[in-house]
Amino acid sequence: MSNQKLIDFFKNDRFATHAGIELLEVRPGYAKATLTIEDRHLNGVNIAQGGALFTLADLAFAAAANAHGTVAVAINVSITFVKASPIGTLLTAEAKENSLNPKIGSYTVNITDNTGDLVAIFQGLAYRKKDRLDIA
């Protein structure tokens, strides 16, 4: 599966697209996505809302897990926030596969800001279904 076909497939993730997330790179077990924090992403204390960061990490996780061509769905995820992100911050989520077997894949997604500082750490487990990913 080509990088561009996978990127195009994940444009169908309407929530992530609506949030302004851009998927830059996808290959089996790896994905990179970005999000620039805008006013719409802020919480009540004017920093990036945790759900915005979670959505960014979740898209990178989904892309990395599904890039093998087998439908993979989350069965457990967690996120740790380590640095606040104000408006204008460019965030990059980089998902890497830790382990893979026929049924389960383990992934870590690190979110960094435009200074290279770690903003959040996302851990995810994906259940790999028998269905193939439908990419024309």
CATH class of 3-132: alpha beta
User: pLDDT grade, residue 99 (50/70/90)?
Assistant: very high
Predicted model pTM: 0.95
Judged against a pLDDT cut of 60, whether residue 32 lies above it is answered with yes
**Domain range list for the chain:** 3-132
The average pLDDT across 28-47 equals 97
DSSP assignments along 108-133, one per residue: EEEEE-TTS-EEEEEEEEEEEEEEEP
